[in-house]
Structure 1
Amino acid sequence: MHLLYEILAESWELLLDAAPYILFGILVGGLLKVFLSPAYVARHLGQGRYSSVFKAALFGVPLPLCSCGVLPAAATLKKQGANNGATTAFLISTPESGIDSISVSYALLDPIMTAARPVAAFVSALIAGSIENTFNPPRPQLAMAADLSCAVDGCCSGVDCPPAEHANHHTLLEKIRAGMRYAFGELWGDLAGWFFIGLLLAGLISALVPDDLITAYLGGGLAAMLLMLAFGIPLYICATASTPIAAAMILKGVSPGAALVFMLVGPATNMATISVLVGLLGRRATGVYLACIAITAVLFGLALDAIYATLGISAKAMVGQAGELLPYPVQLAAALLILALSIKPMYRMIQGWFTKGAGGSDSGCGCDGGCGSK
């Protein structure tokens, strides 16, 4: 009973940390749905085996979304015609970097690590997306199948409606309202079940793995980076929050390369993310996602240590006040709102477990069972 309480307590703490970012990601996803033309997405992120991956990786680097917040935005891109490779690239480059985490890195670390972080995020995203599209080439018919109808009220099909004319059909407020309805209705409904399953798994891991082990035996070298991978992949932490932790690790003697592995892997992977990705992209694409993140993170970590050694630079972080942390009332309000929004989709998901075999193919990710590769 004590272990169960501890798991639930850890899961609740993770939800408190993640909830504001999830809400922000849902809002971004809703706005993308309304303001980002499906035809544009289908053309740039749905067609082209490698150009779409390059654009998605580049597009994701500056966005301030963490590994949970990026999921709703990526689900929207997927629904609007983005291929698996482009979606994979977006899912990697976005949480590993961001304007917020770059600024915090510059404040707490040094210029070398500040530059290494977005570069590593972009390269790892480019490699993962390219591998996915190499083995699973995007099919033009999938992009053409994207929903091009008006995202506000379906007033036109998007085919015989000139963009200049349709731009005057709805006011800005109408578009925002439509985006919010989609974000907090269909979009979160598609992701809620997968997220809470992963959240409980993350709570289980957090409860069983002592915190002090994260900073133990990490003096440098390949072994330290592999150990950092083992800690970082299942645990949830946002890119911005990982930066002061990495700075503290460096001050304790952790190599800058091992700290970089933590900053890349921690924000990009966790049990909640992995569980959603299986539903969104499929098992094979999720495997490519994890493998590419792990391999490129270690390679960049080794290269970064080599750069510091060659230049004779000591990686000393100027640890000061960590960036502004969200106050507890904001976290609590966001968590309670997430729980309220999840009641209906979770009820439908649990109900579906007892009504299998009714011919439905919905996977719980909003892809109707057909978005993931096999």
Structure 2
Amino acid sequence: MLPAATEPALRESWRFFVHLAVVLVPLFIGGSFLVGLAEEYLPPEAVERKLRGHDEGAGNVLAAGFGAVTPFCSCSTVPALAGLLQAGAPLGLAFSFLLASPLVNEIAVILLLGVFGLKLTAVYVVTTFTAAVGGGIAIGRLGLGDHVKDVQGLTGGTDAAAAGVATDGGTVECGSSCSTPVQRSHRTRVGTAARGAWSFFVDTLPYLLVGMTVGALIHGVVPVAVVQRVLGPENPLAVPLAALAGAPIYVSMSGMLPIAASLSEQGVPVGTVLAFVIGGAGVSIPNLVLLTKLFERRLLLVYAGTVVAIGATLGVLFNAVFV
């Protein structure tokens, strides 16, 4: 027999869990399908090739744009980043790509749309994209290029054309040994993306369930006063605390957004919630572990500090605008 006060809290947690499932699961599957299409038409090696030779400014905008529309996971982003650096791309341009990739990717945007609505999501996309461009330019001017490790062996797609594998547009590019290009049909690409979306959903479902469970328990069981005391507007350190707290909690965006939705429902200001999401997505433990293969400690600290600064700055801005 549960205590009298516990049963209503658990019922409320279950109600919120169902609400999150109804809203987020279809969005996640749809977002995963768009991710699959993006990777079918724009694989990492094509991104590397298109970004080579661009300079500061327009190159940072282009790099952030590719980072936003090519939602590679960390295991693909880091080799693509290594390929850019090995090909001689400026460090600042590579950083714009690296900053935009986790913060402005399709799944994050679609889930934010379901949680916070069109207006706030649009402002989020514009501000994080601008921050990725500006952050890359600023880091590029610090002269930290000698803190990049030897990237040989980390590049996954730089030799794709030479090996005769599909690069941009699905056509096999090769040397004189190849006589007939192979073109995959749009129907084949869509089918591959659909199968990949379902497979990705099945693989990610445990994280999504954990995130929804934690979010539901925060919503139904944790007293609002406790959440407000730690992350509410009366705590002057709430925004930077949220940006830092996201990193150890983050496993995947699918698990992060249900917790963010719950915090928002508990009255946590939207900027504080987004600082939590940005900090987690950009400075997640898996992401940092992979980046240690590419960056020396000083450059890794610069990256982590930049992400936390972006999260804290945008958090304060959103709290001021979306009262």
When normalised by structure 1's length, the TM-score is: 0.52
Gaps of 5+ in 1: 1-19, 140-145, 155-162, 175-210, 310-374
Q: CA RMSD in A?
A: 4.0
Task: Classify the secondary structure of the residue corresponding to 2:268.
Answer: coil
Who is 2:141 aligned against?
134
Give CA-to-partner distance per residue, 1:305-338, whole Å, 9 cap, x none: 11123xxxxxxxxxxxxxxxxxxxxxxxxxxxxx
Pick one of 263, 272, 275 that aligns with 1:258: 272
CA deviation after TM superposition for structure 1 residue 254, in Å? 0.9
Who is 2:204 aligned against?
none
Cα distance between partner residues in 2 of 1:68 and 1:228? 26
Amino acid across the alignment from 1:95: P
Distance 1:36 1:258, change over 3 A: closer
Amino acid across the alignment from 1:172: V
Percent of aligned pairs with the same amino acid: 23
Who is 2:60 aligned against?
53
Pick one of 79, 84, 89 that aligns with 2:86: 79
Does the CA-based 8 Å contact 1:32-1:76 persist in structure 2? no
Distance 1:53 1:138, change over 3 A: farther
2:139 aligned with 1:106, yes or no? Answer: no
Cα distance between partner residues in 2 of 1:166 and 1:86? 33
Amino acid across the alignment from 1:121: T
Does the CA-based 8 Å contact 1:127-1:292 persist in structure 2? no
Give CA-to-partner distance per residue, 1:90-143, whole Å, 9 cap, x none: 11111112222212211221233212322232122123211221022879xxxx
Cα distance between partner residues in 2 of 1:169 and 1:121? 44
Cα distance between partner residues in 2 of 1:285 and 1:50? 21
Who is 2:53 aligned against?
43
CA deviation after TM superposition for structure 1 residue 263, in Å? 1.6
Amino acid across the alignment from 1:219: G
| Structure 2 counterparts to residues 204-243 of structure 1, below 5 A | 217-220=230-233, 221-243=235-257
Who is 1:331 aligned against?
none
Who is 1:119 aligned against?
126
CA deviation after TM superposition for structure 1 residue 168, in Å? 6.7
Amino acid across the alignment from 2:232: G
Cα distance between partner residues in 2 of 1:273 and 1:219? 28
Task: Classify the secondary structure of the residue corresponding to 1:171.
Answer: coil
Distance 1:86 1:138, change over 3 A: same
Gaps of 5+ in 2: 1-31, 147-154, 165-172, 185-217
Task: Classify the secondary structure of the residue corresponding to 1:61.
Answer: helix
Distance 1:297 1:167, change over 3 A: farther
Task: Classify the secondary structure of the residue corresponding to 1:151.
Answer: helix
Who is 2:207 aligned against?
none
Cα distance between partner residues in 2 of 1:125 and 1:59? 11
Runs of 4+ in 1 over 6 A off after TM superposition: 146-150, 163-168, 211-214
CA deviation after TM superposition for structure 1 residue 37, in Å? 6.6
Does the CA-based 8 Å contact 1:49-1:134 persist in structure 2? no
Cα distance between partner residues in 1 of 2:305 and 2:280? 14
Cα distance between partner residues in 2 of 1:70 and 1:165? 27
2:295 aligned with 1:285, yes or no? Answer: no
Who is 1:203 aligned against?
none
Give CA-to-partner distance per residue, 1:147-198, whole Å, 9 cap, x none: 98772438xxxxxxxx999797463379xxxxxxxxxxxxxxxxxxxxxxxx
Does the CA-based 8 Å contact 1:128-1:288 persist in structure 2? no
Total equivalences in the alignment: 233
